[in-house]
Structure 1
Amino acid sequence: MIPKFRVVYSGIDHSRQSMSSSNDLRISRTLGALLGVHCGDSLGATLEFKPWSQIIRQYPNGLREIVGGGTLNWPVGHATDDTDLTRAVLLAYRDYEENKQAGSIQLVEEFNIAKAAAEYSLKWNEGDWPGRKKGTRPIDIGNATRIGLQHYKRLKNPAKSGVGIGSAGNGSLMRCIPTGLFASGERRQNESIAISEFTHNDLRCTVACAAYNEIVAALVNDKTPQEAVEIGKTVADDLDCAKVTDAIKEGETLPLAKIASEGPRGDIAVSASGYVLNSLKLSIAALLDLRSFEDVLVDVVRIGGDSDTNGAIAGGLLGARDGIEKVPERWLEKLQFRKEFEEVVMRILQLQQDSG
């Protein structure tokens, strides 16, 4: 039986039916997670850097369409650095699985996921990227990401290139979700940390990525949102980062709808800045808000601030929770990388199934 969305969504190979129906949920939630990142990024790009007070006047019910524009004048549905760098990590996982298929144990043992992701990120930074004139730099890049990629270009060692203690932006959390979707067991935590480290190696960033990806994996495996959050807290505890544990706990208590309608006031401990733990809190609040994918994501981005990145991080969890069928089609049809993401997801999942 071909899963329903494989008929509806254009980027998927309709002719292949070898993926069993028991995998339908995983496929739906994997696609939902990746395209949820893209939706949150592209929706939030319009409002990036704007305060809640300005957004609420312009969009009293929130921005409900992907329209582009914003401070950096994005084309409609275009990826910003959030989706672009998620793509870099996604392609690294595709390459890993293709090396496995080649059948060489040496190739698999020598393949470094973090290095592959860093290489794709470096291509992005230096202008070898779809949708951009060759050789041109990205118009939106965080300082830690920029410095980390400069170091990586010189050192070619992802474990030694990142910006360390004291720089805890959300630039690795925004791109980390492919690890939660495609790595299993002990690999997942190790690779979450390693892929963060090549730009962001502050403990708050590396552990936030590890906890977030365990939450993603739990959701894809049909855990409830609350069960998934409990797993995330356990991971943060095991990795000895109380600040990440506390951020997840604070996210559990945030009244997202109230914050979005009344503003991030002083009596509610929330900020829409680019600090990694602020973004993590908001994503947890979004995950536990059981309204529709659309309503929750609209509220995340209308808080303002770092709206594209907060939207991307929250969108990933919401998509992993709800599956691709709950993501608005009118949003999906505008996304720059929709077709490619669909095709790469199916490629990776097929390769993983074939290799057992």
Structure 2
Amino acid sequence: MANSSASGDAASVKCQPPTAAELESRNAQITATIYGQCIGDAIGLLTEFLTKSEAKKNYKQKSLEYGMKIPDFHRSRWQVGDWTDDSDQMLLILLSLLDQRGETDVKDFAGRLKNWMLHGFPEFGDLAGMGIGATTKAVLGNAYFRDDPQKVAYQVWERKGGNIAPNGGVMRTSVVGTHCWWDTSTVVKNARDFVSCTHYDQRCQASAVSVSVCISLMLQRQPQHLDKKGKYNVDQLIKDTFSIAGQCLKDEEDKKLLWQYLSCKNVKELELDDAGKIGFTYKSMGAGFWALKQDDFRKAIQKVTMQGGDADSNACVAGAMLGCKLGMDKIPKSWKSGLIHKDWLDQHIERWLSLQAEMATKSSTVE
């Protein structure tokens, strides 16, 4: 069995550790990435598992808000303004890294994931984790998951014919791109580690690496990724992301498909409500990279949401990536203020930003 956590030469790019001023200048951008994920998730819930035509029928308003969600069984399980399992799992990564002082510990994350499945976030009033996908559920149900999560994930993948690539990993890894963002090789390794705990397929790993690496490159602000006005050169970001993420894949056809989804110019091409395929990992990733090409947070997230399908997963990836690009000021006020766990989120983001300062200091000492 191949070692899924080894990054090999997938990314050798490493910027100098950031200065205190550079860290400070990224704080709002990192905050917007995390908020963007949670907000996209909560808005996406409005149309999750609906077809595009059903979404249009139920939501005729031009401006979506949390309180508009239809009162069916699926949506009624979450309170108005709550995010779903996608962002819950993203926050489990954040909490694991916080408590492990910035070090990736897949067993620690596996334990948190298992505990979340059983109990949810008690501080939010949860009784259990809701919305768990079939692959994640199969992996977490294995008695040996806590001991060797990546081995168990591999076994589940192999039993399924080695050809299942759901989006349950990519939906949670945007935060990885904000951790030690100046060191691309670390971002690659962490993305692969956190996704392969449940989703072993190389396409799952490539999609998670794509999202995480692109976010880290935006935070690095390298000259080739900026135009003369200081705005992002999105085409170059995508090309460099592909050159790194493509190294997760052995099959040339998989690489071509990866590029197809990364470079998509029209969200309709993603066919996000395609029956039987809505959970494909490249679809959520593709929604994120389509959103990255946009300049209006509300319009982009609404566009993704109104495509239906696995809309919360698609919109949370889109929200994280576009949040990183545009910043907090461009996220609608009603969407920010309407998150019901906003105070909890703010407290943990503050801890997260402090951790990044610690990691930068540590990196400088090693240098």
TM score, norm. by length of structure 1: 0.81
Name the amino acid aligned to 1:228.
L
Q: Measure how far apart 1:112 and its partner are.
A: 4.1
Rounded Cα–Cα distance in structure 2 between residues aligned with 1:115 and 1:207: 22
Alignment partner for residue 109 of structure 2, among 117, 123, 132? 117
Rounded Cα–Cα distance in structure 2 between residues aligned with 1:66 and 1:166: 36
Name the amino acid aligned to 2:307.
I
Alignment partner for residue 289 of structure 2, among 271, 275, 284? 284
The C-alpha deviation readout for 1:197-217, integer Å capped at 9, x for no partner, is 111001110121112111010
State the SS of the aligned residue for 2:135. Answer: helix
2:46 aligned with 1:46: yes
TM alignment of 1:252-331, pairs within 5 A: 252-256=263-267, 259=268, 268=269, 270-272=271-273, 273-290=278-295, 292-331=296-335
Alignment partner for residue 228 of structure 1, among 237, 241, 255? 237
Rounded Cα–Cα distance in structure 2 between residues aligned with 1:227 and 1:181: 19
Alignment partner for residue 159 of structure 1, among 133, 150, 154? 150
Q: Measure how far apart 1:131 and its partner are.
A: 5.2
Rounded Cα–Cα distance in structure 1 between residues aligned with 2:146 and 2:108: 14
Rounded Cα–Cα distance in structure 2 between residues aligned with 1:40 and 1:245: 28
Rounded Cα–Cα distance in structure 2 between residues aligned with 1:202 and 1:353: 33
The C-alpha deviation readout for 1:159-212, integer Å capped at 9, x for no partner, is 212132222110010001121110333221111111111110011101211121
Rounded Cα–Cα distance in structure 2 between residues aligned with 1:332 and 1:207: 30
Q: Measure how far apart 1:153 and its partner are.
A: 5.3
Change (3 A) 1:91 1:302: same
Rounded Cα–Cα distance in structure 1 between residues aligned with 2:21 and 2:145: 47
Q: How well do the aligned residues superpose, as a CA RMSD in angstroms?
A: 2.3
TM alignment of 1:1-356, pairs within 5 A: 20-60=20-60, 62=62, 64-67=64-67, 68=69, 69=71, 71-73=74-76, 74-97=78-101, 112-130=104-122, 136-151=127-142, 154-162=145-153, 163-164=156-157, 165-183=162-180, 184-222=183-221, 223=225, 224=232, 225-241=234-250, 242=252, 243=254, 246-256=257-267, 259=268, 268=269, 270-272=271-273, 273-290=278-295, 292-354=296-358, 356=361
Name the amino acid aligned to 1:177.
S
Contact 2:279 2:310 (C-alpha < 8 Å) held by counterparts = yes
Q: Measure how far apart 1:342 and its partner are.
A: 2.5
Q: Measure how far apart 1:32 and its partner are.
A: 0.8
The residue aligned with 1:4 is: none
Q: Measure how far apart 1:337 and its partner are.
A: 3.5
Rounded Cα–Cα distance in structure 1 between residues aligned with 2:25 and 2:200: 33
The C-alpha deviation readout for 1:126-172, integer Å capped at 9, x for no partner, is 105235657x3333110111112223655521221213222211001
Q: Measure how far apart 1:320 and its partner are.
A: 1.0
Q: Measure how far apart 1:123 and its partner are.
A: 1.6
Change (3 A) 1:112 1:58: closer
TM score, norm. by length of structure 2: 0.78
Rounded Cα–Cα distance in structure 2 between residues aligned with 1:29 and 1:76: 26
Contact 1:208 1:276 (C-alpha < 8 Å) held by counterparts = yes
State the SS of the aligned residue for 1:160. Answer: helix
Gaps of 5+ in 1: 1-18, 101-110, 260-267
Rounded Cα–Cα distance in structure 2 between residues aligned with 1:182 and 1:280: 19
Change (3 A) 1:43 1:269: closer
Q: Measure how far apart 1:250 and its partner are.
A: 3.5
Gaps of 5+ in 2: 1-18, 226-231, 362-367
Contact 1:56 1:62 (C-alpha < 8 Å) held by counterparts = no
Change (3 A) 1:171 1:307: same
